[in-house]
Amino acid sequence: MPKRIAYTTEIEYIQILDEHANFDESLGKGTLRDDEVVFLYEQMSIVRHYDEIAFKLQRSGRMGTYPQNKGQEAAAAGAGFAIKKNAPGSWLVPCYRENLALFLNGLPMEKILLHWMGDERGNQIPDGVNILPIAIPIGTHPLHGAGLAWAIKYRDRVMNESRDNRVVISFFGDGSTSEGDVHEAMNFASALKVPAIFLCQNNRWAISTPISKQMGSETVVQKACAYGMHGIQADGNDIFAMYKVTCDAIERANNDNMPTLIEAITYRLGDHTTADDARRYRDPAEVEAWESKDPLIRTRKYLETRNLWDNTKQTALEAKAKQMVSEIVKNAEGIETPTSDDIFDYTFANLPDEIVRQRDTMHTHSLGQNPQQETLNAHSHAGAR
């Protein structure tokens, strides 16, 4: 037989709650309870207000560049809550548009503000919180995720430590898939069958580069086929769909030793960062179309149709968000001023004498460390004359 089909596949797209708040009862069964939907809507709303305040902090000169999460809250909410509920103790490897997933899994909200304020203590993750610092280099961090997942498997299989459903979920954008590191990470994870989840937030734009110019493939998720891992595409603005596909990926990683690539179809409603002006390259009609798919709007509609939400609750939530975020900003801006000793004290377990002198004098040259030498040098020059 000279010719045959070498490989065929199909990839599913999952949507449970659409932009009109139509809910698929069969797919949505057993996903999120009503109280959990209320909780996630509240959290998304708080993070939306957090985003707005962070934007104002940057514009008023109180913070450096900031990337808004606006429009992408559901992907982080659904995935982050799935990890929190079904795989506690798992590792989250973030990019910089997954704030809610991080907050749901224990990261203090002040940390993100401190990071963008240029305070290194924003990257100091509290003990017991399994989250890596947010990654600014594009696409480098999924390698860290694959390595962490390999460590979990090694400890489980070789050292007989139970991992209790723990997985590693790495978040990245569609632009990251143009970086070789992302593909190396997925190849490593698939070849070694580690408990890894790769979540691509496809928001259609890599800064000003549209998805049509980012890749020749029709989807991001089809790349999973090349590595022999499971791939699924989901409505990234649907908390139910994102929760379901992440739960399925957790189960698949633990029961079948199969990594998963999730492509969350979403859209950033704001600029790439506060240093960007998306009006220069995006069609206003496109933005308007995606505004109607806003995850907060559709989730609120869902709650209202089930008599779980009303204007009174909305007003109370907005007041709560305002007070809460105000306190977070106060804590971030009121943190004690760091000392120069921090530069030295966390580099060595035991500081060498030379480093101690540099720390105490803030000089590296001998004259700075011992100014009395200047007098001695003056006398010696006088004697020479």
Residue 204 bears catalytic tag: no
Q: Is the per-residue pLDDT at 385 higher than 90?
A: no
**What is the C-alpha to C-alpha distance for residues 66 and 50, in angstroms, rounded to an integer?**
12
pLDDT of residue 381: 52
Residue 96 bears catalytic tag: no
**Residue 128 in contact with residue 203, Cβ under 8 Å?**
no
pTM (predicted TM-score) = 0.91
Residue-by-residue DSSP string for 239-296:
HHHHHHHHHHHHHHHHHS---EEEEEE---SS-SSTT--GGGTS-HHHHHHHHTT-HH
Catalytic one of 49, 272, 282, 300: 272
Extents of the domains making up the chain? 13-333, 342-384
Output 288 or 366, whichever has higher pLDDT.
288
Catalytic one of 48, 163, 268, 298: 268
pLDDT tens profile 9-65: 999 999 999 999 999 999 999 999 999 999 999 999 999 999 999 999 999 999 999
pLDDT of residue 371: 65
pLDDT of residue 1: 65
Both tokens of 91, joined, read 């590792």
CATH 3.40.50.970 fits 13-333, yes or no: yes
Interacting residues of 101 by C-beta distance below 8 A, sequence separation 6+: 76, 77, 79, 80, 83, 92, 94, 171
pLDDT tens profile 155-185: 887 777 766 789 999 999 999 999 999 999 9
365 pLDDT tier (thresholds 50, 70, 90): confident
pLDDT of residue 378: 54
Q: Name the DSSP letter for residue 208.
A: T
Residue 268 bears catalytic tag: yes
Ranking 66-75, 229-238, 255-264, 339-348 by mean pLDDT, the lowest is 339-348
Catalytic one of 13, 154, 281, 346: 281
Mean of the per-residue pLDDT values of the chain: 93
Q: Is the per-residue pLDDT at 342 higher than 70?
A: yes
Ranking 74-88, 146-160, 221-235 by mean pLDDT, the lowest is 146-160
Q: Is the dihedral of CA 26, 28, 33, 34 positive or negative?
A: negative
Residue spans of alpha helices (H) in 32-157:
34-59, 73-86, 99-104, 110-116, 141-157
Q: Is the per-residue pLDDT at 264 higher than 90?
A: yes
Query: For 359-365, which contacts have Cβ atoms below 8 Å and span 24 or more sequence positions?
Result: none
pLDDT tens profile 109-164: 999 999 999 999 999 999 999 999 999 999 999 999 999 999 999 988 777 776 67
Q: Name the DSSP letter for residue 16.
A: S
pLDDT of residue 140: 97
pLDDT tens profile 276-285: 999 999 999 9
